[in-house]
Structure 1
Amino acid sequence: MAEREMNMAKPTLLLIDGNSLAFRAFYAMINQVERFVNHEGLHTNALVAFNNFLDGIVEPFDPDYALVAWDAGKTTFRTDKYDDYKGNRDKTPSELSEQFPYLREMVTLHGIYSYELPNYEADDIIGTTAKDAQAKGFDVTIVTGDRDMLQLVDEHIEVWITKKGVSELEHNDLAMVDEKYDGLTPAQIVDVKGLQGDTSDNYPGVAGIGPKTAIKLIKAYHSIPELYEHIDELKANKQKEKLVNGEADAKMSRDLARIRTDAPVEFELDDLKYTGPDYENIIPFYQQLDFKQQLAKLANQGHVLGASISGDASEETAAPSTTPVPLIRLSEDPTDLIPDYTDEISFYVELDDADYHTAAPVGFIFGNEAQGYVVGRDIDVLLIDPVKTMLENADVKKRVFNAKALYVLFLRYEVELQGLEYDILLMSYLVDTNDNSNDLGALAQQNDYYDVQTDEAVYGKGVKFEIPEDDQIFFEHLGQKARALEILPARLLQKLDDREQTDLYKNMELPLSIVLAEMEATGIKVDSQRLLMMGNDLAERLSDLEQKIYQEAGHEFNIQSPKQLGVVLFEEMGYKPIKKTKTGYSTSVEVLEQMQDVPIVKMILEYRQIAKIKSTYVEGLLRVVHGSDSKVHTHYIQTLTQTGRLSSTDPNLQNIPVRLEEGRLIRQAFVPSSSDCVLVSSDYSQIELRVLAHISGDKNMQAAFNADEDIHAATARRIFNLPEGEDIDPNMRRKAKAVNFGIVYGISDFGLAKNIGVSRKEAKEIIDTYFAEYPGIKQWSENIIDFARENGYVETMAHRRRYLPDMHAKNFNVRSFAERTAMNTPIQGSAADIIKIAMLNVQKALETEGLKTRMLLQVHDELIFEVPKAELEIIHELVPKVMDSAMALDVPLKVSSHEGATWYDAK
């Protein structure tokens, strides 16, 4: 015990191999090198990983002294001894070279001594410092990616070697070195390296001598000098011949491998005292690098953040308030405490679950900086006057987070929120669709405001989620959120103005959120009995298929197990494997579809499809039918997709399969809520191709649409050079359709060949012909890619932006995907804009006409309505007319409308 206490009292020294870890940090995130770029164009992937490493290593080791050693350059005493030392290494990528000055600065700002020594490597600085510290009674820890450092291990020096990037470390002490090198000492590692050589450092060793032989020889003769002293005693054979011929290389390689412990370093151990981060200067450093997560972490720890230097020069990050957020606690009579809010307020309600259709409110805050805030836990306070009147007063502008969720929530309490002016969630999404978060704290930090913690930091996550019982903790967090709502709108509005997106926000997305809220709250009725019957039918189908599959296989097995299925198909039945994985044979859909001529495979594909329909769309829907109204209430997400398309979840009603009859039949379960109503589907026809014809300005495609031709037949006629009047073969039309929609997504000859079953050569000829026949599309596609490359983003017709940081990626596949995205986004995004405008206009028309028809669902290019039978004639005329005129294009928009007793019948 006394010895242990004495050891614990020893000073500790942490030595870090800077170059080794910098390279590992860079290559650990090499696939994201073009994503991690700050506002000045500096690549930061190595900086991000290295910073995480420093934060993760210093704290657990908690050293008294610390040093990061760097290589001063490629020329050292070793290159003087051997010209080709490390000569096989590629030139350091410029993306990493530009980060080295900042890496050194980062180390210093972390309170760690940073040092390099001309003519020596980082290894020698570390070796010299380690042995000096050990002699003076220190316990030393070395962190590196270089196993040569193991030669320094002894009783008071341990080496941690990076295994995966810089996130995983392997501990090495005397016992572990003894085990790895079969009883050799750390000092003998240089002798092993001298014999076997080192391909990484490019010194030769003895030709033909590998690691196992090297260890065996050094175990027998202790060192290279002793080995050659006894060389004559060795049995004459090939091995001896190799050793004799390689003596000079062995001794040179041993010398090159030996880490120097007497390098002329110009510092004392006292200079290496670890002082901790320099917060005053590390904050602007992080701001320069756009390290938002680190800044948020520091802000949450109570460190004051100054002005941000990221983004536009005019933008500033508000410094944290030096005074606490003014909170007014509620009494039994809230009317005495509520100020006369007549202008603007921030308003936030905390829920105990993400599903705002059913979640319980557990806290709220409203108010402003000038008059103070009202905060509490009892939602009933908000449901009585004067608070209810204020919430329903459109003249009192509200700053909120997720207006749609808030509106749906209060509809449950028969409160119709008005004056929802600033939705931080929507505004931030429009500014940059790449940064999406449903947490106000995370979103605020993405927009350079750090005075609010994330919910995860305060409440926990998943099963650990819990609203604090302590009012001070809970109300302080709500106060932070309210102040974020106070600060962020002006900053985001400025960005929207700069991007010409203010109209997109105010006149499309914000009003649409209320339309969506009404649709969600209305819901659509589900005939649960019909779903149950479908489930029973599907279960019988699955049971029949199971027996047939077992009969083909010769025994029962788990059909849903890829491993068991692989054994059955490729081992027992002897079919040739198409693709293997790390765990066995691939039985993916892509693989099995290439084997459909095999009876058992065809049945397995059918089994999988039916099983998915049963579990996802029958059982899944039954789980989310509300008992109170027999309806499902989907959640429309406005802030998820980067094209602006709406997303549906819980349940996803946009993804019900339509290609399989079993999937289409699911729509039979969606019915009107009253026998006096029917469902009406109004669907845009080929809206994306019409958008393409408009934005490309291609005269040939525009002519086809203006003449109301079948666009796929017209394309088939052009790409297959068919004369006018000749009937179009259905297979040709199918291929033309694949080309039309493939072009929208920037399809390659490889992709098209796979889709339509032709050779790549033929597919390339088809694409070339397509562009020759539609030259405007060819020119537009080239122009939009050039625009994206120059500006870093593309826009829809309504100025919805999508940023494309990978346009300059060095990786061909990554860059190609960005180019395809640059083509697709303006088309798909503009189509999304059009249907959103249509939804707004239809809703306004329904209200203006005083109709009882309700819009229930949006499924991509289709709107579903519940229509009283008495209003059918009006709706069939009104809705297509309004949808057709949503946006003026150079080609007509076309809407088809159908009615039915179920959603299935309305199609």
Structure 2
Amino acid sequence: MNKLVLIDGNSIAYRAFFALPLLNNEKGVYTNAVLGFTTMLLKVIEEEKPTHMLVAFDAGKTTFRHETYGEYKSGRQKTPGELSEQLPLLRELLDAFNISRVEIENYEADDIIGTLAKEAEEKGWEVKVYSGDKDLLQLVSSNVTVALTRKGITNVDTYDLALIDETYGIRPEQIIDMKGLMGDNSDNIPGVPGVGEKTALKLLKQFGSVEAVLESIDQVSGKKMKEKLEENREQALMSKELATIFREAPVDVDLETLSFGEYDTDKVVELFKELEFKSLLTKFSGEDEDEVEASFDELNFEIVTEVKEEHLRKPAAMVVEVLDENYHEADILGMSIVNETGRYFIATDVALSSQVFLDWARDPKAEKYIFDAKRAIVALGWKGVALEGVVFDLLIASYVLDPSVSTHEIASIAKRKGSKQQVHEDEAVYGKGAKRHVPNEEELSDHLVRKANVLYSLRADLEQELRDNKQYELFFDLEMPLSIVLAKMESTGVTVDVEILKQMGEELDERLTKFQEEIHTLAGEDFNINSPKQLGKVLFETLELPIIKKTKTGYSTSADVLEKLKDEHEIISLILHYRQLGKLKSTYIDGLLKVVHNDTNKIHTMFNQAITQTGRLSSTEPNLQNIPIRLEEGRKIRRAFVPTEQDSVILAADYSQIELRVLAHIANDEKLITAFNEDMDIHTKTAMDVFHVSEEEVTSLMRRSAKAVNFGIVYGISDYGLSQNLQITRKEAAEFIERYFESYPRVKQYMDTIVEEAREKGYVTTMLERRRYLPEITSRNFNQRSFAERTAMNTPIQGTAADIIKKAMVDINERLEEEQLKTKMLLQVHDELIFEVPEDEIEKVKTLVPEVMEHAIKLAVPLKVDLDYGPTWYDAK
């Protein structure tokens, strides 16, 4: 009997990428996703013994489902460049194994798999599908099974009809109904708000399908549930459609051509050698090397019941374990300490009740090596414990040395750095998702001590590596003190006037209602504006507007379609504004209200110091760097951010055009340097140079064009990108860029030089020696290589700008402490710093902050700071 194995290429590659630490060969090519995928592939071949095989890939980001719902999969994070680079290698690997692969424009891998599984099933073949996506469970039948990856890559759960019934209590074809009701966050399928998996299954067991549920709403128990289903009728049907695998995709493949058998072993071995897959080469040569996790050697340590000074000899490696992602006020699971005298686990209650421990924790002379000092300082701070004396942070050291890796967990760092100390990954100890738990004390203490043991053993090696990379000062003088500053900012928080937010929410509700009424009046009928199907019918049938794009279920009403229709009818602008206000209300007003601390009336955002490859900080829980300020309604949200003390103000200090000033310095372009030194308007100056006109002849359009190219050049903008920004032809945009480079030849020279330097070294650096590795700069894939070249141009500029504001934060904090001022630094938003300043310190701080910011680093041009203050953050701009 023929057996067809179908593999969801993108899904398995994605799982493999995140299951393994970031690996690369000597050439700097990333290989972890390929390694994980290959390991799984060899296991499948060995266990399944397929007669036929195929790997399906997604052809691109846009599919026919986007015509139905423009926001489909919009919530997904951008695929890491380190993974994208490996996809061509995966295809090369499959070719070496003579395994067929298919991708089709406008369709997903799921559709290809669904279509081929159906065809094979009709021929009586046995079919097995491998994926990490539960959507494929809808394909299960008497002849089709679906293996879903569980932990890592090689462990799978194989679903047949019996397991689906046991797990969900429904038939495979009802999986799409379940998704229609509950939605799917990973694919941004909305479903019915408030309906989770449990409720969805209950409804399906009672009624059978989404359509049957909607037809029998009167029989649904619960008034609120009835209302939710009624209000989201079209959304539920649309969600079901989005979740449905299309099994008639245009797959131009004869099943017989998918036969799997002979392949060129030498070709596979050669590829393995190139990728440096030593373990797989050993396996391939026939040696028995099963993937069995080695049992860890026993580690001797003491569980401390009474803290004594001998337990806290300095210097000491210390792990403060907080499991929650949001570590503010979170439970501390325990602490471990490793020093020259021994290894110790200290339960939280034992530590916090010990004066010996508290005195040691707050002693700045007691040197401590920490993993994620900011997290430890904040978590202990909420318990009333001041942690000082941190001289080394393993997380930050790892980030500075390897900014492109996907995880800086202690176990991953240990593997990357070749540590001989044994430690489990956190997921292996705590589980993940619904299975996340705190283990018993025996397992917990062993895990935490092993972590501290790795930290203690790796410190000296990492410090030496930082010296070798000329990054010692970046780490010790900038990133380390910054983590302390950020901890202080997080703990301080920023006060929010909840009543103002609530009032704004009510005002937005009123405006949304008014917009809705106006839209309904212009349409001549009432309808659900949030339903693409109903909106499409109104726009293209009732109002007879030009049809821009059709979908399988009707008409596209995506934002790009509506933008093209703005001049056709006044209803379009109202709909676009209605959508913007709706997002503002749900995402920002409602979102911020959820995270205001009940006791302090403050928002304690978390600053991520070890995520971006450019060195920029990001903000989460909530993201205060992303409050929209282009819309006045969005800008007004800042009115809710107020001083904690009545006799204080909010002060904002913002670097002016910092990236362009850095560009002028790095490129050493005389014209740019002169313009900034003479305090000219840089966009006007660029317009004068590019259009060959005097200052008086520069029009607003010329200045706008110059501004677009100025900022675009920093990011390596293409003629296409500039043409889209300025609504001009690509030819005009290309001429504009050419004239710019003629005017500023040193900028062009810098860009050519930095790309060549990146090719030679494999990385670029900022002025303060922050590195960004770019192995894809030599990629055979044009898109990957082009992206790497643009990144090479931009990183030294954007990264230096990030370093400058970080240094300013450290220097300002030092000055505030030196002068014993009560002013507090609250937030960092891109190039802007926000402070709370007592009124009697305003004059002092108005001088101090710009002085420090403008002298954070010496450039060939002056750094300039715009400063303002007022009773709220909104008034400070």
Normalising by structure 1, report the TM-score: 0.69
1:471–1:772 distance in 2 versus 1, CA, 3 Å: same
Distance in structure 2 (CA, Å) of the matches to 1:771 and 1:882: 34
Give the residue type in structure 2 aligned to 1:797: M
1:841 aligns with 2:819: no
Q: Which residue of 2 aligns with 1:334?
A: 307
Q: Does 1:325 align with 2:312?
A: no
Unaligned stretches of 5+ residues in structure 1: 1-13, 71-92, 105-120, 124-144, 177-255, 264-281, 290-295, 304-319
Kindly provide the amino acid, as one letter, of the partner of residue 366 in structure 1.
I
Using CA pairs under 8 Å that are at least 6 residues apart, name the structure with larger relative contact order, 1 or 2. 2
* Pairing of 1:280-291 with structure 2 (within 5 A): 285-286=278-279
Matched, 1:640 2:639: no
Alpha-carbon displacement from aligned partner over 1:427-479 (angstroms, at most 9, x marks no partner): 111112221436433444454458222222221212321102x2222222222
Spell out the pairing of 1:167-246 with structure 2 (5 A cutoff).
none
1:67-466, aligned counterparts within 5 Å?
160=127, 285-286=278-279, 301-302=293-294, 322=297, 324-331=298-305, 333-335=306-308, 339-368=310-339, 370-437=340-407, 439-449=409-419, 451-466=422-437
1:537 is matched with 507
Contact 1:399 1:420 (8 Å CA) reproduced: yes
C-alpha distance in 2 between matches for 1:804 and 1:830:
17
Residue aligning to 1:758? 728
**Farther-moved stretch of structure 1 (752-761 vs 439-448):** 439-448
Query: Which structure: larger Rg?
Result: 1
* Residue 822 of structure 2: aligned partner: 852
Question: Is the alpha carbon distance of 1:146 and 1:392 closer, same or farther for their aligned partners in structure 2, counting shifts above 3 Å?
Answer: same
Structure 1 residues 55, 511: closer, same or farther in 2, change over 3 A? farther
| Secondary structure in 2 matching 1:434 | coil
Give distance in 2, aligned partners of 1:715 and 1:410: 52
Query: Which residue number corresponds to residue 149 of structure 2?
Result: none
Offset, 1:893 = 0.4
1:445–1:569 distance in 2 versus 1, CA, 3 Å: farther
- Distance (whole Å) between structure 2 residues aligned to residue 381 and residue 95 of structure 1: 51
Q: What is residue 699 of structure 2 aligned with on the other side?
A: 729
- Name the amino acid aligned to 1:302: A
Aligned-residue offset at 1:702: 0.7
User: Residue 690 and residue 343 in structure 1: after superposition, are their counterparts in 2 closer, same or farther (change >3 A)?
Assistant: same
Q: Secondary structure at the match of 2:545?
A: coil
1:588 aligns with 2:575: no
Structure 2 equivalent of residue 550 of structure 1: 520
Equivalent in the alignment of 2:623: 652
Deviation string, structure 1 residues 253-289 (Cα, Å, up to 9, x no partner): xxx999999x9xxxxxxxxxxxxxxxxxx99824999
TM alignment of 1:697-846, pairs within 5 A: 697-723=668-694, 725-846=695-816
Where do 5+ consecutive residues of structure 2 fail to align?
54-86, 101-114, 146-255, 263-274, 283-288
Provide the rounded CA distance (Å) in 1 between the counterparts of 2:374 and 2:734: 47
Report the CA distance shift for 1:891/1:533 in structure 2 as closer, same or farther (over 3 A).
same
1:510 corresponds to: 480
1:42 and 1:98 in contact (8 A); partners too = no
Encode CA deviations 1:12-56: one digit per residue, 9 max, x unaligned: xx9999xx999x9799969999x9852356785655423112345
CA–CA distance in structure 1, aligned partners of residues 611 and 280 of structure 2: 27
Partner in structure 2 of residue 54 of structure 1: 42
Question: Is 2:552 the partner of 1:578?
Answer: no
Which amino acid in the other structure matches residue 816 of structure 1?
A: S
Aligned to 1:39: 26
Distance 2:290 2:655 in 1: 48
Percent of matched pairs sharing the same residue: 44
Partner secondary structure for residue 557 of structure 2: coil
Quick one: distance in 2 between partners of 1:833 and 1:492? 21
- In structure 1, C-alpha distance between the alignment counterparts of 2:708 and 2:855, rounded to whole Å: 28
1:680 and 2:646 correspond: no
User: What is the CA distance between 1:559 and its match in structure 2?
Assistant: 2.2
Listed one character per residue, the Cα deviations across residues 829-864 of structure 1 (whole Å, up to 9, x for unaligned) are: 100000011111111111111111111111111111
Contact 2:16 2:34 in 1 (8 A): no
Give the aligned residue type for 2:448: L
Contact 2:812/2:849 (8 A) holds in 1:
yes
Structure 1 vs Structure 2 CA RMSD:
4.2
Deviation at 1:382, TM superposition (A): 3.5
Residue 623 of structure 2 aligns to which amino acid in structure 1? N
- Name the SS for the 2:834 alignment partner: strand
Deviation at 1:815, TM superposition (A): 2.2
Aligned 8 A contact 1:407 1:416 in 2: yes
Q: 1:768 to 1:527 in 2, by over 3 A?
A: same
1: CA distance between counterparts of 2:652 and 2:691? 35
Matched, 1:627 2:598: yes
Q: Aligned partners of 1:704 and 1:781: how far apart in 2?
A: 20
| Residues 1:786 and 1:360: Cα distance change in structure 2 (over 3 Å) | same
Amino acid at match of 2:40: N
Q: Deviations over 1:298-323 (max 9, x none)?
A: 58x225xxxxxxxxxxxxxxxx6x4x
Q: Show CA shifts across 1:59-80 (max 9, x none).
A: 6x6xxxx89999xxxxxxxxxx
Distance 2:613 2:744 in 1: 28
3-state SS of paired residue (2:696): coil
Specify the alignment match of 1:615 in structure 2. Answer: 586
Partner residue of 1:888 out of 848, 855, 858: 858
Letter in 2 for 1:617: Y
Q: State how far apart, in whole Å, the 1-side matches of 2:527 and 2:821 are.
A: 57
Whole-angstrom distance in 2 between the partners of 1:673 and 1:764: 52
Structure 1 CA distance, aligned partners of 2:550 and 2:709? Answer: 31
**In the alignment, residue 384 of structure 2 is paired with which amino acid?**
E
566-575 or 523-532, which deviates more:
566-575
Q: For residues 583-634 of structure 1, what are the alpha-carbon distances to aligned partners after superposition, in whole Å with 9 as ceiling and x for unaligned? A: 7644333332222223222111101111122122211111111121211111
Q: Note if contact 1:43-1:99 (Cα within 8 Å) is conserved in structure 2.
A: no
**Secondary structure of the residue that 1:712 maps to in structure 2?**
helix
Quote how far apart the aligned CAs of 1:728 are. Answer: 2.6
State how many pairs are aligned: 694
Partner-residue secondary structure (3-state), 2:588: helix
Cα contact 2:649–2:872 (8 A) shared by 1: yes
Q: In the alignment, which residue of structure 2 is the partner of 1:139?
A: none
- In the other structure, the counterpart of 1:666 is 637
Cα deviation 1:217-261 (Å, max 9, x = unaligned): xxxxxxxxxxxxxxxxxxxxxxxxxxxxxxxxxxxxxxx999999
Give the Cα separation in 2 of the matches to 1:489 and 1:736: 49
- Partners of 2:802 and 2:548 lie apart in 1 by 39
Find the partner of 1:527 among 497, 511, 516. Answer: 497
Which amino acid is 2:616 matched to? R
How big is each residue's C-alpha offset from its partner over 1:121-146, in whole Å with a ceiling of 9 and x where there is no partner?
999xxxxxxxxxxxxxxxxxxxxx99
TM-superposed CA distance for 1:691, in Å, is 0.3
Query: What is the deviation of 1:514?
Result: 0.3
